[in-house]
Amino acid sequence: MIQNNALCDFKEIPNFSNFKIEDIRPAIQFLIEEAEKTTEQVASQKESNWNETVEPLTLAVDRLNRAWGQVGHLNSVVSSDDLRQIYNDLLPEVSEFYSRLSQNKKIYQSFENVYNAKIEGNLNIERIKLLENELRDYRLSGVDLDEAKQERYQELSKKLASLAASFSDNVLDATDHFVMHVADVDRLVGLPQAIISEAREKAASLGKDGWCFTLKAPCWIPFMESCVDRNLREEMYRAYVTRASDCGASQYDNSNNIVEILSARHEKAKLLGFDSFAHLSFATKMAVDPKRALELMTELSQKARSRAESEYEMLKDYAASHLGVSKLMPWDISFVAQKIKEERYTFKDEDLRQYFPLKRCINGLFELLNSLYGISVVEKKAKAWDASVKLYQVRDHADDLIGYFYMDLFARDGKRSGAWMDDAVGRWKTDRHTQLPVAYLVCNFPSATTDSSDAYLSHNEVETLFHECGHVMHHLMTQIDELGISGINGVEWDAVELPSQFMENFCWDWNIVKKISSDISGDGHMPEDLFKKMVEAKNFMSGIQTLRQVEFSVFDLLVHLGAPADSLEAVMKILEGLRKEISIIPVPEYNRFPHSFSHIFAGGYAAGYYSYKWAEVLSADAFGMSQESSMTLRDIGTKFLKEVISKGGLRPSLENFIGFRGREPKIDALLQHTGLSEQARSAT
Ligand SMILES: [Zn+2]
């Protein structure tokens, strides 16, 4: 190991106190070399067995993963020009190492030999499962293809990476490129002051008088909800739904990217022997096959339909009687919905912030974890990457240490937006040592203002905190000893959100809300009447929203099933066909939503967008158990821990679910939860 290099320090928690940017290059290059040496040495062995084949390679790769993971993490939370430069410089070297390893036939053969010797009884079930996953992943990376096909596979992978980057650059640039200039102050009626001020600044920065509005989320969403001038809404809508398309600025058109991505994905799947890219994608998913996912979506759309239709009627009636709009158009929907919502529930989401002081939320959350799992969460002083970041130890009821997590909650410059959990270290127990799990929990909440000692969260941010903490629990509370299937490792993509969404449900449980909220003076809890209104407002427009999610999911599945669409017209035809069956709100001919659908064309959700709904089905159904039976929090927690979150990737997630719930998942709880079931409808 390199002495005095923080990235080569593999003690219990990452060494942030001695970290220097100059450490990165030598550490990563050294760890790649070491891993290469181990790979060669393992590949040249005559005999393969667990201790001399799998373990040394796992160790070498884990060290690189840990160090590179730490660099990637810092690049996300305290990015600087220097750090980004080094990260981008090293990225190709690191990716090449992983892709060389994943197509190494000798290593694959050695792993297969270890696996085949399992009949002799020298492997436990964890090791068998780990090897099955490893062998599957080698095959999905093209290890058993002949040389020419391997080369083609690599070419396709590279091509897909650059097509995805080009797709997302186009969406970003097309979004940035558009500004709507308004000169007349009378046309700003209805807009929140913050949006107006920002539009003023934007105009000034462009050397213009008046106001300039953009398509970025913080402007676009409130604009569509509140701008009274219907023509302006139409102009914004048109610009938004034609971004990066043949109907927008031609230099950002994603039409060719879409067609080429679909074709390259299909070819890749065929090389590996799958019928279509959707089938390849489902090789690592819980929902078994694309047909099952399509069935679920069809069932959801049928259940949501009548509610969506009555919501649409309500919008039309209100628009005609209160706003003088005789024909409701897509650019009216958010505006009218917002008007009805304000009238009906008499509070705005932002009003709730004063009831959720951060310290109380965190204490309430830790208390809930204690009730569920009997664990205690205790702060441990340690230097991290920013003074506001805290490190926590998690201990079980016998006070034994389970693992650690860092909590980095506040937005600041140089930090990527959004919220996420990442694993810093995975649990791994060998004959010689036990490596404890460590996680990063990252959010982007507003920090305390100068005149208050605590930060305050919106209810949505409280849900985010609970959600990410669910991922942390999944990673830390694992009882699996093998690194590749412990914590979140090896868990099917569409099941990973179960533990996190499960936690979100508690933010809608009055017994918990009482503990995480306070009244305005800082004592007691939020008013119960207000909480009841929040619950009512939660499901407002859930029919229309469900149909929209179903439309996206079905589109994603259909374009990846069968032979790929070979032209933009063919892609749009698929969309038109499914819209006829699913949607109830007509869209204009120029609407090009696929052109900015980055989740599936530039992200990891290809033939997997349905996962969002699938995870909601699972988590609502799992949580539903606490409501229909008389189980205590501890009963629920103990069972959830035993059957789901302790298991890592050892068992298929469906088995975990059945172990917990006693049966396969049903969509009823989600319908109930979102106000779409018969029962829920008659109650409102
Ligand atoms: Zn999540």
Which residue has tokens 């469906």?
654
Contact 141, 104 (CB under 8 A): no
* Angle, in degrees to the nearest 10, between helices 459-476 and 358-373: 40
Give me the chain's average pLDDT, please.
93
**Mapping DSSP to helix (H, G, I), strand (E, B) and coil, where does residue 332 land?**
helix
Q: Which residues pair with 376 in a beta bridge?
A: 395
pLDDT at residue 450 in the model: 66
Handedness of CA 675, 681, 683, 684 (dihedral sign): positive
Distance in Å from the first CA to the final CA of the chain: 65
Neighbour-count burial of 376, counting CB atoms closer than 10 A to its CB (0-12 exposed, 13-18 middle, 19+ buried):
middle
Phi, psi of 456 (to 5 degrees): -125, 140
Cα of 506 from ligand 1 centre, angstroms: 15
Give me the residues of the chain with pLDDT under 70, please.
450-451, 678-684
Residue type at 679?
Q
Instruction: Give the Å distance between the CA of 444 and the centre of ligand 1.
Output: 15
Q: 32 by DSSP, 3-state: which?
A: helix
121 in helix, strand or coil? coil
Separation of alpha carbons 272 and 153, rounded Å:
9
Tell me how far the alpha carbon of residue 613 lies from the centroid of ligand 1, in angstroms. 13
Q: Which helix (H) or strand (E) holds 236?
A: helix 230-241
What is the whole-number distance in angstroms between the Cα of residue 421 and the centre of ligand 1? 8
- Dihedrals phi, psi of 521, to nearest 5 degrees: -80, -5
Separation of alpha carbons 642 and 129, rounded Å = 18
Residue 220 CA neighbour count, 13 Å, CB half: 17
Residue 659's pLDDT is 96
For position 681, what pLDDT does the model report? 42
User: Looking up tokens 């997997």, which residue turns up?
Assistant: 608
Q: 633 CA to middle of ligand 1, Å? A: 22
Short-list 215, 223, 146, 147, CA closest to 179: 215
Separation of 394 CA from ligand 1 center, angstroms? 21
Q: How far is the CA of 143 from the centre of ligand 1 (A)?
A: 31
- Cα 469 to ligand 1 centre (Å): 9
pLDDT of residue 49: 93
In the chain, % helix, strand, coil (3-state, to 5) comes to 60, 5, 30
Q: What ranges make up the beta strands (E) of 125-237?
A: 180-182, 211-213
Structure tokens given for 552: 């996206």
Task: Look at residue 680 in the predicted model and tell me its pLDDT.
Answer: 45
- Cα atoms in the Cβ-side hemisphere of radius 13 Å centred on 665: 27
Question: Which residue has 């600025």 as its token pair?
Answer: 249
Distance 55 CA to ligand 1 centre (A): 30
Q: Report the DSSP beta bridge partners of residue 456.
A: 357
DSSP codes of every residue in 400-427: -EEEEEEEEEE--TT--SS-EEEEEE--
Which residues fall within 8 angstroms of residue 346, CB to CB, at 6 or more apart? 533
Q: Which two tokens stand for residue 154?
A: 């690599």
Token pair, residue 247, equals 């109907």
- The model's pLDDT over 306-349, given as tens digits with 9 standing for 90+, comes to 999 999 999 999 999 999 999 999 999 999 999 998 899 888 77
**Which of 549, 531, 548 has its CA nearest to residue 585?**
548
Q: 616 catalytic, yes or no? A: no
CA of 634 to the centre of ligand 1 (A): 23
Distances (CA, A) of 76 to 13, 69, 84, 556, 628: 19, 11, 9, 29, 42
Distance 195 CA to ligand 1 centre (A): 29
The pLDDT value recorded for residue 416 is 82
Ligand 1 centroid from CA 615, angstroms: 10
Q: What is the tens place of the pLDDT at every residue in 205-218? A: 999 999 999 998 77
Q: Is the pTM of this model over 0.85?
A: yes
- Set 468, 482, 497, 551: catalytic member: 468
